[in-house]
Structure 1
Amino acid sequence: MLATILPVRSLLIAIFVLMAGSGFLSTLIGLRLERAGSGTMVIGLVATAYFAGLVIGALRAGDIVRRVGHIRAFAAFVALLSASTLAYALFAQPLLWGALRLVDGLCVAGVFVCVESWLNDRAETGTRGTVLAWYMVALYSGQAFGQLILRSGNTAPQVPFQIAAILISLAIIPVCLTRSSAPVLEDAASLPLRRLFEASPLGVVGAGVTGLLLGAFYGLAAIYARRIGLDLGETATFMMTVILGGVALQWPLGRLSDRYDRRRIILICFAATWATSIGLATQPQGFLLFGLGAAFGGLSFALYPLCVAYANDRLLPSERVTASGQLVLLYSAGAALGPLGAAASMTLTNAGGLFLFIALAAAAMLAFGMWRVATSDPVPGDQQQDFQILPRTTPVAALLDPAGPDHPAFQPNPTPQVINGQ
């Protein structure tokens, strides 16, 4: 295993440090806006700006990387992200912060494109799964433990932004000093969205709805935590618990979906997400709050890779990489809308409105999924591809699938497989 990750260790260190510095900003910015008197809808709009930037960056950052190269592009994206992070400490205007969050999303998407395409170039067919697993560990553990930086705001309001900018800037060092040569980023093939939906309505709609759920959570969960009485340290712990819970259950649920009808596992996860969301909407306290938070993270974080795996079950091997990239964009589009819907729900009700909105979206998806199960045939077990954990970052992440472009199935004129119904 060490032999597999040593060639990419600088990239993994860089993504861990960068996510430790930037992963908690959505939490911090939401809390600061609320303390400054901004309404829930304003906070939701600022959160939406970040996901909109992520979508735009995922679509356009590749052009910059191809033009100037990976190392220069990475340094430029990180430098701009560090500068925008310091700007929050200078000016506390919601409109400006919304613009800064748009820039943040663009920069983070650019970083993901650089790192993921580089990892893909360095990983061999037999090691892609290991590389992807370590990338996921670095990304989400950095994001989770970065939440603890929120506690530093008790001493001075500007300190968390300063620490975040320092960590973000430090992320440049391992990449700039790497002896590994940067790859050439190729243009991705296209797959019509209509073809993708015809092949797997459940996978397509599920990816978008999962974005809706998690976009709402990331945008407004900190506001929920504060309004139910958690202090700053407890809010940070709650966010960290949800993220770590999300990482913990992805693999067991994925393995379960390999053994049984994947559609039913997806429906069970949406049903359980609905149940935990209803529980969180009642504003529990103590261990119950954190237990439900961990369960919510474990169930909801698993939904995206499950939906991608199910969609891939319905596609030709030559279509899977491009389809996974399309599903990332659908997820991101849903995430951009999620904070707005959750903000409206919280405005009409109370703090629990966040999870009422999430529960409503999960229930609607559950109903759609039950209809699909009733009207379509399952994919035979021997034709299901193995579950693979996937980050919800950019389309380039799809290339890290173990059955990626080096796999024979992705070479010209692959042997078609039989697709059984919808």
Structure 2
Amino acid sequence: MIASLVPVRSLLFAILILMLGAGFLTTLVSIRLQASGTGPLIIGLIATSYFAGLAAGAVRVGRLVARIGHIRTFTVVVALLSATTLAYTLNAQPLLWMVLRFIDGCCVAGVYVCLESWLNDRAEGPSRGSVLAGYMIALYLGQGLGQQLLNVVGAVSATPFVLASLLISLSVLPVALTRMSGPALQTSAALPIRRLYVISPLAIIGVALTGVVLGAFYGLGPVYAGDLGLSVSRTAGFMTVVILGGVALQWPLGRLSDRFDRRTVIILTTAAAAISAFALALTGPDGIGLVLAGVFGGTAFALYPLCVAHANDQLAPAERISATGGLVLVYSLGAAIGPLLVSAAMALTGPQGLFHVLAVLAASVFGFGLWRRMVGDKVPADMQQAYQPLPRTTPFAAELTAEPAATPSDAGR
């Protein structure tokens, strides 16, 4: 595996460094807004603007890449992200921060489009799965460990924003100094959502509600912990446990879904997510709550790739990449709705409302999955595709799970 990562090491270092800086910004913004007395509804709206930016950026950045290339686009979006990170220190007006978070989302989407399409171009044959695994490790490790920087610099001064901006700026260096040439960007149109629902209703509903759940958690998890009296350090630890738990369980749950009816694994995973979320609402995010947080993260994070794999089981090979584009869009829309929806519940019922609503959402997927299992046909074992862990970023990551199409010169070999 290591040998296959050497040719793309600069891209992996770039995402690791950038996520160390940008990965804790969502937590930091929520903590700072909460400390200033901002209510959960406004915090939820600001979190929603970030995920709206992610969705908008994923759709629009490809045109910029096609015009000026990968390296210039990466440099532009990282420079803008670094600048907006420093802009938070100028004024704490929620409206300004809402605009800044939207720009942040667009920039992070630009990073994903650049790096994932580039990785897809550079990965060769059997190394493609290893490249995807290395990318996911760098992405989530940076995001998870980045939370711990709040233990070093705190969250009450301009220092964490300055540190985040420094790390984000430094992520340009591995890309700017690489000798790799950027590839030509090739995109495929996403399958219409209506057609995806006809093909796999459980995949669409599962991906949409997973977006709502994780968008709400990222935006409001720090508010939940802070309202229950956790310090900044313990809040950062709580967020880290959920994120790294999400990485740890994706592979074993995926292997189970390859051996058994994937719908059953999705149903059991949503049941575990619902139970752990409800238990967290009762116990709080400390002590046994940290174990529950790891279970919740592991099961909630695994739902997206499980649902994508379930959709792929029922698609022709030529449709799978475009289907992933549609599923990423559905996830992004759910993530944009999630913080706004759940913040209303928290405003009415208190911090425990976060996990009460997340439990209900996971239970809804559980119930829908049971119904689909009763009325839908089981995919034959020999037609079930191999599971692949996937980040919830852009369709380019999904392309790393497939062999590139043969060229005319390859066809005769």
Instruction: Judge same fold: TM > 0.5, yes or no.
Output: yes
Cα separation, partners in 2 of 1:154 and 1:15, compared to 1, 3 Å? closer
In the other structure, the counterpart of 1:266 is 266
Contact 2:246 2:301 in 1 (8 A): yes
Contact 2:191 2:325 in 1 (8 A): no
What letter corresponds to residue 108 of structure 1 in structure 2?
V
What letter corresponds to residue 178 of structure 1 in structure 2?
T
Cα separation, partners in 2 of 1:407 and 1:31, compared to 1, 3 Å? farther
1:83-119, Cα deviation, whole Å (9 max, x unpaired) = 0000001111100000000000000000100000000
Contact 1:222 1:235 in 2 (8 A): yes
Please identify, of 99-108 and 187-196, the stretch whose mean Cα deviation from structure 2 is larger: 187-196
Q: Work out the CA distance in 2 between the residues paired with 1:247 and 1:63.
A: 32
What letter corresponds to residue 237 of structure 2 in structure 1?
T
Cα separation, partners in 2 of 1:407 and 1:141, compared to 1, 3 Å? farther
Contact 1:322 1:398 in 2 (8 A): no
Cα separation, partners in 2 of 1:342 and 1:285, compared to 1, 3 Å? closer
Secondary structure of 2:147's partner? Answer: helix
Give the Å deviation of 1:155.
Answer: 8.0
In the other structure, the counterpart of 1:130 is 130
Give the Å deviation of 1:197.
Answer: 1.2
Q: Work out the CA distance in 1 between the residues paired with 2:397 and 2:292.
A: 30
In the other structure, the counterpart of 1:44 is 44
The correspondence of residues 101-180 of structure 1 with structure 2, limited to 5 A, is 101-154=101-154, 157-180=157-180
In the other structure, the counterpart of 1:63 is 63
Q: Work out the CA distance in 2 between the residues paired with 1:285 and 1:43.
A: 20
What letter corresponds to residue 188 of structure 1 in structure 2?
S
What letter corresponds to residue 246 of structure 1 in structure 2?
G
The correspondence of residues 3-402 of structure 1 with structure 2, limited to 5 A, is 3-154=3-154, 157-284=157-284, 286-401=286-401
Please identify, of 148-157 and 40-49, the stretch whose mean Cα deviation from structure 2 is larger: 148-157
Give the Å deviation of 1:152.
Answer: 3.8
1:406 aligned onto 2:412: no
Contact 1:273 1:362 in 2 (8 A): yes
TM-score by length of 1: 0.95
% identical aligned pairs: 56
Give the Å deviation of 1:400.
Answer: 1.7
Contact 1:50 1:101 in 2 (8 A): yes
Give the Å deviation of 1:368.
Answer: 1.1
Give the Å deviation of 1:282.
Answer: 1.2
Q: Work out the CA distance in 1 between the residues paired with 2:201 and 2:237.
A: 37
1:153-172, Cα deviation, whole Å (9 max, x unpaired) = 43851000000000000000
Structure 2: runs of 5 or more not aligned: none
Give the Å deviation of 1:341.
Answer: 1.3
Q: Work out the CA distance in 1 between the residues paired with 2:377 and 2:178.
A: 50
Contact 2:238 2:285 in 1 (8 A): no
Give the Å deviation of 1:404.
Answer: 4.3
1:256-315, Cα deviation, whole Å (9 max, x unpaired) = 000000000000011110000001111435320110111101110000000000000010
Give the Å deviation of 1:229.
Answer: 1.5
Cα separation, partners in 2 of 1:38 and 1:305, compared to 1, 3 Å? same
Give the Å deviation of 1:398.
Answer: 2.1
What letter corresponds to residue 244 of structure 2 in structure 1?
L
In the other structure, the counterpart of 1:415 is none
Give the Å deviation of 1:135.
Answer: 0.2
Structure 1: runs of 5 or more not aligned: 413-422
Secondary structure of 1:282's partner? Answer: helix
Q: Work out the CA distance in 1 between the residues paired with 2:177 and 2:154.
A: 35
Contact 1:325 1:397 in 2 (8 A): no
Q: Work out the CA distance in 1 between the residues paired with 2:392 and 2:327.
A: 9
For this pair of structures, how many residues does the alignment match?
Answer: 409
Secondary structure of 1:286's partner? Answer: coil
Cα separation, partners in 2 of 1:386 and 1:291, compared to 1, 3 Å? same
Q: Work out the CA distance in 2 between the residues paired with 1:19 and 1:49.
A: 19
Give the Å deviation of 1:191.
Answer: 2.0
What letter corresponds to residue 91 of structure 1 in structure 2?
N
Contact 1:266 1:303 in 2 (8 A): yes
In the other structure, the counterpart of 1:417 is none
Secondary structure of 1:89's partner? Answer: coil
Q: Work out the CA distance in 2 between the residues paired with 1:406 and 1:19.
A: 31
Contact 1:125 1:406 in 2 (8 A): no
1:119-142, Cα deviation, whole Å (9 max, x unpaired) = 000001211110000000000000
Q: Work out the CA distance in 2 between the residues paired with 1:289 and 1:178.
A: 44
What letter corresponds to residue 221 of structure 2 in structure 1?
A
What letter corresponds to residue 406 of structure 1 in structure 2?
A
